């Protein structure tokens, strides 16, 4: 795919004045949050459950009310498209409405409902865009019930065979295909699907960077590459009192040293390198017994593939050296590996420009979390807009973004979609009459 | 208490020739192991259960068969004493016959049954010792059902009030007092009890030191002081992808760094210092979430109290510094603290001498595990003899000591008891006629 040719950075006056109705956006967020409600204001709508169906039905009702062209594909992704003046693939926005078990009310919902709000505004003002504009919600982005996460967008772009996805068995024994049938969202559109003209996703940051810096919006340059590994160390169980240090084969120690090294390495590599040991387990896990087995996960992320590979190599070398030192055996299991994704430079620049044009502070940053946009980026020019997350919290009922920030993010989304849907001079197969 | 005056290092010829009957000892170990048997040859006889009662009944039957003076005290410790030529407290040996849930067949049983074997040998050969010689088994040494461990010997020496011990509630809700009544072992002898003349305990090492050095017996100089602490670290849960390193408050990292430090410190302090982090737990313990809470235990042991205190201080300082560095709160909970116990130098030297007199290799070493002898040491001159443990394994059905080593250990026990029961020249209030 090539980049997009985007319209000039200033919108014509009648479009430049448009602002989304943030109260309506918040009302829809509230209404959706009432499905699978959690104490504290969050929601629980695991993919393809009854709660997810109810959430889907509500959003589909809103799409129908706006008179959008509705489509559902074979993996349950739902598209609502507002035709443009010319034929061709739509400029698409969207995200997901499934949640983790203890989800917040923003997360993917914001991207879907802000897209809907853009389309409602265009309808209200009778704006006829050159290109079609659509909003989508993708199936099972969270991966909390069925693995992998971002399944719907992955299948949509041809990154996973449809049949394999449909056969996926969830944590409760149900299959994706069975559940799609059951809730009535196994659609007719083919997978892989046709590529949009471009894709822009609005999402909460899910991290503390914008808030800490006091910046309103993020222009997301790409998604960090992710390396998830599980390390199992096997040593020997021994009495903590009677076994001299030199005779120990302490599996727990190798894991502890590894966790400390992962942090040192992240600091040393600098940039946006992060490294986390979030899981550690010892056996037998007793105060007075040297652990015979220890297990941990290692999460490494970087926007630069070469540096990410270097981090992986250095962690491996460290673990091998320490395991040998302590007389332990090691075993690696790859849990996940994604290369970094770079978003389209022209759209990233457009997000920055439009934020500034509205007087908002904006910073370029990578996404540390995975998003549907990284899948769409395989087939069309793509970027994302981030709004701040209070205290960096997400996947939690305490997840929160200020209404003013919601307005800012949705307005920038609106402006980017308008520019992408506007056929630039000299680039118009169907010139306006 | 003062040290003992011990008889000359050579036993008279008729005693010097005595050797215990190791086949009879092994038969008794086998018979006792059949009570609460486990696959693989171990036993499960948690303190004051029906299995413990059956084990007690068997050993008491053997004591009666030898015509010993039987006594049971108010915490259920059982004493079988063979009178000597003179009045006064007996030279005592013994250990315990309760086990952990997955116990081996040696552990405390060896010390009790080797003592019984010594008394049987003396009876067979009509040896009349100057002082009385007795064998005891103490209640709830393991602490696997009721806390603390070494309860019976602790109460016997006045280290814990009887009523407090009797009121102790076990893991199954039963009380020590109730269970003693139920199994018929709440005896009439008072607690604290009269101090023996001296106490020598034979036990398996439960560690790998003797086996690794190819040495047959250990002359135990004392018991390591033990410091058990639980550390809870509270930081902040964060997304492992979206939270830059500098904004993290990673509780798991503090625990991991602490575990690595505990090892470095033990190596640096050297000597017999050991340090173990055997338990580590993270919350929420997920691959892609920085842990908000982490917990670990820290087990420090040394025979030198000053060094043990230094180790404690340095661990605390390290944890405080790292927690501050990572923006975490810490909370300490003391799980156990025992000062080191030094055994009686004269008896330790006697164990060495008698091992050598039989041609056995012997090494002085501390005990890394707790034993009844450390409680008895509060009231009378005390020492221990260790036999090797194959692969350092104990508290496991795979626990094993060679028959030749059992013979060596029990023979040395015999010789030490004989020497301690012999009134030295110029030290005899009732000179032989």
Residue B430: what pLDDT? 47
User: Scanning every residue of chain B, which has its alpha carbon at the shortest distance from the alpha carbon of A255?
Assistant: B256
Q: Say whether pLDDT at A426 is over 80.
A: no
Cis peptide, bond prior to residue B147, ω within 30 of zero: no
Residue in A224, A282, A284 closest to B280 by CB: A282
- Give B295-343 pLDDT, tens digit per residue: 999 999 999 999 999 999 999 999 999 999 999 999 999 988 989 999 9
Question: Measured between alpha carbons, how far is B235 from A339 in angstroms, rounded to an integer?
Answer: 30
Domain membership flag for residue B4:
no
Q: What CATH number is attached to the domain comprising B324?
A: 3.30.70.360
Residue B213: what pLDDT? 96
- Which of A90, A91, A66, A95 shows the shortest CA–CA distance to A78? A95
Contact B239, A369 (CB under 8 A): yes
> Which band of pLDDT confidence, cut at 50, 70 and 90, is reported for residue B10?
confident
Contact B18, B107 (CB under 8 A): no
Question: B338, B356, B389 — which closes off a domain?
Answer: B338
Q: What CATH number is attached to the domain comprising A176?
A: 3.40.630.10
pLDDT over 70 for what percent of chain B?
96
Domain membership flag for residue A3:
no
How far from A230 is each of A30, A276, A299, B87, CA to CA, in Å?
Answer: 39, 12, 9, 68
Backbone angles phi, psi at B334, to 5 degrees: -75, 125
Burial class (CB within 10 angstroms; exposed 0-12, middle 13-18, buried 19+) of B314: middle
Cβ contact, residue pair A255, B256, below 8 Å: yes
Residue A10: what pLDDT? 76
Q: Helix, strand or coil for residue B324?
A: helix
Residue B423: what pLDDT? 85
Contact B182, B75 (CB under 8 A): no
A210: Cα separation from own chain's centroid = 17
- The mean of the pLDDT values for chain A is 95
Residue B6: what pLDDT? 60
> How many residues would you count in chain A?
433
Contact B134, B82 (CB under 8 A): yes
Contacts of B94 (CB under 8 A, 6+ apart): B79, B111, B112, B115, B134, B135, B136, B137, B138, B199, B201, B372
Backbone angles phi, psi at A138, to 5 degrees: -100, 145
Cβ contact, residue pair B224, A241, below 8 Å: yes
How far from B432 is each of A404, B131, B416, CA to CA, in Å?
Answer: 103, 12, 21
Could you tell me if A307 and A389 lie in one domain?
A: no
Burial class (CB within 10 angstroms; exposed 0-12, middle 13-18, buried 19+) of B394: buried
- Encode B172-186: b = buried (16+ Cβ within 10 Å), e = exposed: eebbbbbbbeebebb
Could you tell me if A139 and A207 lie in one domain?
A: yes
Question: Measured between alpha carbons, how far is A424 from A7 in angstroms, rounded to an integer?
Answer: 5
Could you tell me if B204 and B82 lie in one domain?
A: yes
The mean per-residue pLDDT over the stretch B175-189 comes to: 98
Question: Measured between alpha carbons, how far is B247 from A333 in angstroms, rounded to an integer?
Answer: 29
- Give B124-165 pLDDT, tens digit per residue: 999 999 999 999 999 999 999 998 999 999 999 999 999 999
Domain membership flag for residue A432:
no
Domain membership flag for residue A5:
no
Question: Measured between alpha carbons, how far is A33 from A27 in angstroms, rounded to an integer?
Answer: 10
- The mean of the pLDDT values for chain B is 94
- Which of A319, A343, A337, A338 shows the shortest CA–CA distance to A329? A319
Burial class (CB within 10 angstroms; exposed 0-12, middle 13-18, buried 19+) of A338: middle
Could you tell me if A266 and A120 lie in one domain?
A: no
Best of B208, B261, B288 to disrupt the A interface by mutation (most A CBs within 10 Å)?
A: B288
Q: What interhelical angle do A251-269 and B251-269 show, nearest 10?
A: 120
As separate numbers, helices (DSSP H) first and strands (DSSP E) second, chain B gives 13, 16
- Give A213-268 pLDDT, tens digit per residue: 999 999 999 999 999 999 999 999 889 999 999 999 999 999 999 999 999 999 99
- Which of A10, A98, A82, A6 shows the shortest CA–CA distance to A49? A98
Could you tell me if A79 and A208 lie in one domain?
A: yes
Cβ contact, residue pair A287, B242, below 8 Å: no
Question: Measured between alpha carbons, how far is A193 from A99 in angstroms, rounded to an integer?
Answer: 24
Question: Measured between alpha carbons, how far is A222 from A342 in angstroms, rounded to an integer?
Answer: 4
Q: Which residues of B touch A250 (CB under 8 A)?
A: 263, 276
Could you tell me if B311 and B410 lie in one domain?
A: no
Cβ contact, residue pair B241, A301, below 8 Å: yes
Could you tell me if A194 and A255 lie in one domain?
A: no
Q: Which residues of A touch B276 (CB under 8 A)?
A: 240, 250, 287-290
Could you tell me if A86 and A211 lie in one domain?
A: yes
- Give B353-395 pLDDT, tens digit per residue: 999 999 999 999 999 999 999 999 999 999 999 999 999 989 8
- Give A187-220 pLDDT, tens digit per residue: 999 999 999 999 999 999 999 999 999 999 999 9
Cβ contact, residue pair B241, A226, below 8 Å: yes
Question: Measured between alpha carbons, how far is B345 from B360 in angstroms, rounded to an integer?
Answer: 20
- Which of A421, A241, A420 shows the shortest CA–CA distance to A347? A420
Residue A8: what pLDDT? 57
Backbone angles phi, psi at A199, to 5 degrees: -140, 130
Could you tell me if B368 and B416 lie in one domain?
A: yes
Contact B157, B379 (CB under 8 A): yes
> Which band of pLDDT confidence, cut at 50, 70 and 90, is reported for residue A431?
very low
Best of B212, B287, B365, B370 to disrupt the A interface by mutation (most A CBs within 10 Å)?
A: B287
Residue A404: what pLDDT? 98
> Which band of pLDDT confidence, cut at 50, 70 and 90, is reported for residue A423?
confident
Could you tell me if A282 and A231 lie in one domain?
A: yes
Question: A338, A354, A385 — which closes off a domain?
Answer: A338
Q: Which residues of B touch A209 (CB under 8 A)?
A: 242, 244, 247
Domain membership flag for residue B432:
no
Question: Residue B266 sits in which domain range?
Answer: 225-338
Q: Helix, strand or coil for residue B80?
A: strand
Could you tell me if A208 and A345 lie in one domain?
A: yes
Give A17 to chain B, closest Cα distance, Å: 34
Cβ contact, residue pair B244, A272, below 8 Å: yes
pTM for the full model?
0.84
Best of B236, B239, B289 to disrupt the A interface by mutation (most A CBs within 10 Å)?
A: B239
Q: Which residues of B touch A242 (CB under 8 A)?
A: 205-209, 367-369, 392, 394
Q: Say whether pLDDT at B4 is over 80.
A: no
Question: Measured between alpha carbons, how far is A413 from A131 in angstroms, rounded to an integer?
Answer: 16
Domain membership flag for residue A101:
yes
Cβ contact, residue pair A274, B394, below 8 Å: no
- Total structural domains in chain A? 2
The mean per-residue pLDDT over the stretch B212-233 comes to: 97
Give A271 to chain B, closest Cα distance, Å: 9
The ipTM estimated for the assembled molecules is 0.84
DSSP string, B14-38: HHHT----HHHHHHHHHHHHTSSB-
Give B245 to chain A, closest Cα distance, Å: 6
Q: Say whether pLDDT at A368 is over 70.
A: yes
- Give B66-98 pLDDT, tens digit per residue: 999 999 999 999 999 999 999 999 999 999 999
Contact B92, B198 (CB under 8 A): yes
> Which band of pLDDT confidence, cut at 50, 70 and 90, is reported for residue A9?
low
Could you tell me if B210 and B231 lie in one domain?
A: no
Q: Helix, strand or coil for residue A85?
A: coil
User: Scanning every residue of chain A, which has its alpha carbon at the shortest distance from the alpha carbon of B264?
Assistant: A245
Q: Which residues of B touch A369 (CB under 8 A)?
A: 239, 241-242
Contacts of B8 (CB under 8 A, 6+ apart): B424
Question: Measured between alpha carbons, how far is A42 from B305 in angstroms, rounded to an integer?
Answer: 54
Best of B235, B240, B254 to disrupt the A interface by mutation (most A CBs within 10 Å)?
A: B240
Best of A240, A272, A325, A365 to disrupt the B interface by mutation (most B CBs within 10 Å)?
A: A240
CB-hemisphere CA count at 13 Å for A348?
A: 18
Question: Measured between alpha carbons, how far is B172 from B145 in angstroms, rounded to an integer?
Answer: 8
Question: Measured between alpha carbons, how far is B258 from B267 in angstroms, rounded to an integer?
Answer: 14
Q: Say whether pLDDT at A1 is over 70.
A: no
- Torsion over CA of B354, B358, B359 and B364, rounded to 10 degrees? -20
Domain membership flag for residue A433:
no
Contact A274, B245 (CB under 8 A): yes
Domain membership flag for residue A100:
yes
The CB density around residue A359, as the number of other CB atoms within 10 Å, is 8
Cα–Cα–Cα angle for B329, B331, B335, rounded to 5 degrees: 160
Question: Measured between alpha carbons, how far is B151 from B170 in angstroms, rounded to an integer?
Answer: 12
Give B328 to chain A, closest Cα distance, Å: 16
Task: Identify the H or E element spanning A252.
Answer: helix A251-269
- Strands B280-283, B91-95: pairing is unpaired
Question: Measured between alpha carbons, how far is B321 from A339 in angstroms, rounded to an integer?
Answer: 37
Cβ contact, residue pair B286, A274, below 8 Å: no
Backbone angles phi, psi at A202, to 5 degrees: -95, 135
Question: B321, B338, B355 — which closes off a domain?
Answer: B338
């Amino acid at each position: 795919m090539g980049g997009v040719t985007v319209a000039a950075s200033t919108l014509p006056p009648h479009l430049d004045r448009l602002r989304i109705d943030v109260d309506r956006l918040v009302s829809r967020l509230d209404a959706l949050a009432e499905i699978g409600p959690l104490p504290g204001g969050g929601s629980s709508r695991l993919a393809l459950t009854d709660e997810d169906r109810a959430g889907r039905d509500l959003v589909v009702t809103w799409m129908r009310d706006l008179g959008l062209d509705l489509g559902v594909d074979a993996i349950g992704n739902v598209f609502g498209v507002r035709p443009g003046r010319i034929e061709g693939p739509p400029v698409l926005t969207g995200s997901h409405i499934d949640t983790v078990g203890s989800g917040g009310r923003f997360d993917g919902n914001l991207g879907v409902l802000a897209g809907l709000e853009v389309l409602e505004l265009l309808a209200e003002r009778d704006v006829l865009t050159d290109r079609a504009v659509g909003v989508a919600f993708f199936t099972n982005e969270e991966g909390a019930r069925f693995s992998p996460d971002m399944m719907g967008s992955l299948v949509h772009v041809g990154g996973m065979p449809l049949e394999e996805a449909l056969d996926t068995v969830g944590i409760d024994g149900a299959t994706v295909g069975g559940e799609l049938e059951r809730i009535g969202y196994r659609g007719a559109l083919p997978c892989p699907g046709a590529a949009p003209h471009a894709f822009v996703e609005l999402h909460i940051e899910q991290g503390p960077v914008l808030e800490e810096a006091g910046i309103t919006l993020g222009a997301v340059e790409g998604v960090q590459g992710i390396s998830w590994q599980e390390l199992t160390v096997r040593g020997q169980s021994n009495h903590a009192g009677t076994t001299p240090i030199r005779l120990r084969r302490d599996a727990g120690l190798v894991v502890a040293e590894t966790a400390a090294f992962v942090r040192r390495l992240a600091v040393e590599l600098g940039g946006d390198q992060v490294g986390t040991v979030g899981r550690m387990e010892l056996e037998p896990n007793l105060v007075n017994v040297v652990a015979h087995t220890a297990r941990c996960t290692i999460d490494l992320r970087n926007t630069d593939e070469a540096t990410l590979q270097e981090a992986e190599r250095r962690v491996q070398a460290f673990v091998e050296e320490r395991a040998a030192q302590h007389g332990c055996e090691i075993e690696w299991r790859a849990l996940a590996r994604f290369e970094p994704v770079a978003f389209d430079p022209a759209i990233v620049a457009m997000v920055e420009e439009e934020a500034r044009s509205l007087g908002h502070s904006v910073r370029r940053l990578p996404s540390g979390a995975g998003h549907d946009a990284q899948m769409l980026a395989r087939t069309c020019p793509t970027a994302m807009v981030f709004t701040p997350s209070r205290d960096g919290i997400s996947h939690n009922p305490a997840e929160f973004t200020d209404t003013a920030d919601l307005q800012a993010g949705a307005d920038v989304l609106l402006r980017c979609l308008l520019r992408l849907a506007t056929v630039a001079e000299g680039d118009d197969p169907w010139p306006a009459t």
